């Protein structure tokens, strides 16, 4: 374990510790911030060194970035919900979910270090993904804010789409890698785009359509966009054919127009996006308050704990980026986005170094989903696109989101372990050859 590998982790912990220390002076809370900070630092250090010992060739920057993002998220959630009148303290719950997510990361590494065996069950995983989303239409499912996204089984409450996404990416990676040559062959055309034989196109189209249909009726617009865009990007990477992207774009526009006409909740989201000022105290309240907070932050921010983003409903889930921009300013928000960018860069590098097509597609698909989710939520709170209601990975409050993203990171780590080991062996052989 080299000093080079541990420096980013130390920097991430320093930033988190400084954030909690700052809260001591601005929220009249003496011991709790230090308790949260110490608990969090100890947990993430143990996770980091455990993974580095277990997967010595894996990417050394993924966990420091995850530590930084989850730490900033915990700081923001603590700041927004600690001893705020009428608001539940959610920092404790988030800290517990980070602990659970860390355990899920280790279990995923333990059981799926040989991740290739997942591809043997790709059809079962696709069926499981569809089944998970179907659960929301059973008596176990219930609505929150007019969206039927949640399932409650006894004391356990979770959002199935967070885990269905990962299962579907594994399916698409395994299937596209297996049928890659057949997908590049053509037998018929649609709208001028050459398509592969129906028996190879059918499974992907069926799983894709069923997943999107369920999500649309669940009113989960953010996940619907993710489930559409990520497989389309994976298809392009697998085949190199831009025609599929063009066809997908045409279908996306057509589908958007249809859903806009059929579903009132979609119409409401679009109207509040186009002109939130027409109803600033009603449908446009969230987005206008978000814009006010971002503008108030300026270049350097109002200071941690000094903003007024508590005025935004559900701020710790959908609008946590607005809080960061308000209190840390443009500089802080840009630094946060750069952390996401580094995670995406490392994910793409893992995909490039992977040896086989399935591993490349898996790493790319997981990274693309992470990147798209970040773009969608940041675009929504800044009014660049309609607000979709998904979470900012690792930063927003939410157990299902935190757990799902830790599993995503674990899969990237096991892919990078094999790719990194192969790369190190090649470098060693080249060094020996040059020495000889």
226-230, Cβ contacts within 8 angstroms, sequence gap of 24 or more = 226/165, 226/369, 226/372, 226/373, 226/376, 226/390, 227/165, 227/168, 228/252, 228/255, 229/368, 229/372, 230/165, 230/169, 230/365, 230/368, 230/369, 230/372
What does the alpha-carbon distance between residue 379 and residue 368 come to, in Å, rounded to a whole number?
16
pLDDT higher for 253 or 364? 364
The predicted structure's pLDDT at residue 1: 42
Radius of gyration of the chain measured on its C-alpha atoms: 22
pLDDT tens, residue by residue, 165-224 = 999 899 989 988 887 766 666 556 655 556 665 556 666 666 667 656 665 665 667 777
Q: 195 phi and psi, to 5 degrees?
A: -115, 155
Lowest-pLDDT range, 122-136, 182-196, 300-314?
182-196
pLDDT tens, residue by residue, 47-92 = 998 998 899 999 989 999 999 999 999 999 988 887 666 566 788 8
What does the alpha-carbon distance between residue 401 and residue 292 come to, in Å, rounded to a whole number?
27
DSSP state of 61: S
Q: Residue 198, Cβ neighbours under 10 Å: how many?
A: 10
Lowest-pLDDT range, 41-45, 147-151, 355-359?
147-151
CB 64 within 8 A of CB 54: no
What does the alpha-carbon distance between residue 399 and residue 80 come to, in Å, rounded to a whole number?
17
The predicted structure's pLDDT at residue 407: 97
Kindly report the pTM of this predicted structure. 0.90
Which string of DSSP letters, residue by residue, matches 315-373? Answer: TTTT-HHHHHHHHHHHHHHHHHHHHHHHHHHHHHHHHHH-SSHHHHHHHHHHHHHHHHH
Residues in the chain: 436
pLDDT tens, residue by residue, 274-287 = 888 888 888 889 99
Classified as helix, coil or strand, 157 is strand
The predicted structure's pLDDT at residue 28: 62
Band (pLDDT 50/70/90 cuts) for residue 95 is: confident
CB 379 within 8 A of CB 365: no
């Amino acid at each position: 374990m080299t000093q080079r590998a541990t420096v980013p982790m130390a920097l991430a912990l320093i930033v988190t510790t400084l954030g909690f220390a700052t809260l001591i002076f601005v929220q009249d809370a003496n011991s709790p911030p230090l308790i949260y900070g110490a608990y969090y630092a100890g947990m993430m250090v143990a996770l980091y060194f455990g993974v580095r010992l277990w997967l010595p060739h894996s990417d050394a920057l993924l966990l420091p970035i995850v530590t930084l993002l989850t730490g900033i998220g915990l700081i923001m959630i603590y700041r927004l919900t600690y001893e705020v009148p009428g608001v539940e303290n959610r920092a404790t719950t988030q800290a517990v979910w980070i602990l659970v997510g860390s355990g899920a990361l280790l279990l995923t590494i333990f059981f799926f270090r040989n991740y290739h065996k997942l591809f043997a069950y790709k059809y079962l995983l696709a069926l499981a993904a569809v089944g998970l989303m179907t659960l929301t239409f059973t008596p176990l499912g219930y609505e929150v804010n007019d969206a039927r996204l949640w399932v409650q089984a006894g004391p356990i409450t979770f959002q199935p789409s967070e885990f269905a996404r990962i299962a579907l990416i594994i399916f698409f990676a395994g299937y596209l890698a297996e049928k890659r040559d057949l997908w590049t062959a053509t037998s018929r055309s649609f709208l001028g785009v050459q398509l592969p034989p129906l028996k190879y196109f059918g499974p992907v189209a069926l799983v894709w359509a069923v997943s999107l249909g369920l999500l649309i009726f669940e009113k989960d617009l953010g996940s619907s966009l993710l489930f559409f865009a990520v497989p389309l990007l994976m298809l392009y990477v697998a085949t190199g054919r831009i025609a599929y992207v063009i066809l997908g774009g045409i279908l996306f526009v057509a589908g958007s127009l249809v859903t806009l006409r059929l579903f009132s909740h979609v119409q409401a989201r679009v109207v509040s996006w186009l002109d939130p000022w027409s109803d600033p105290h009603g449908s446009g309240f969230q987005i206008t308050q978000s814009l006010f907070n971002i503008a108030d932050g300026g270049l350097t921010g109002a200071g941690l704990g000094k903003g007024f983003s508590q005025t935004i409903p559900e701020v710790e889930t959908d609008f946590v980026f607005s809080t960061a921009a308000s209190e840390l300013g443009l500089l802080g928000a840009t630094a946060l986005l750069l952390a996401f960018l580094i995670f995406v860069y490392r994910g793409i590098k893992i995909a490039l170094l992977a040896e086989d097509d399935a591993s490349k597609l898996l790493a790319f698909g997981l990274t693309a989903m992470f990147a798209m989710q970040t773009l969608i939520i940041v675009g929504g709170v800044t009014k660049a696109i309609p607000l979709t209601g998904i979470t900012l990975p690792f930063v927003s409050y939410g157990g299902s989101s935190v757990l799902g993203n830790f599993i995503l990171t674990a899969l990237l780590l096991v892919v990078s372990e094999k790719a990194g080991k192969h790369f190190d062996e090649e470098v060693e052989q080249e060094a020996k050859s040059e020495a000889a």
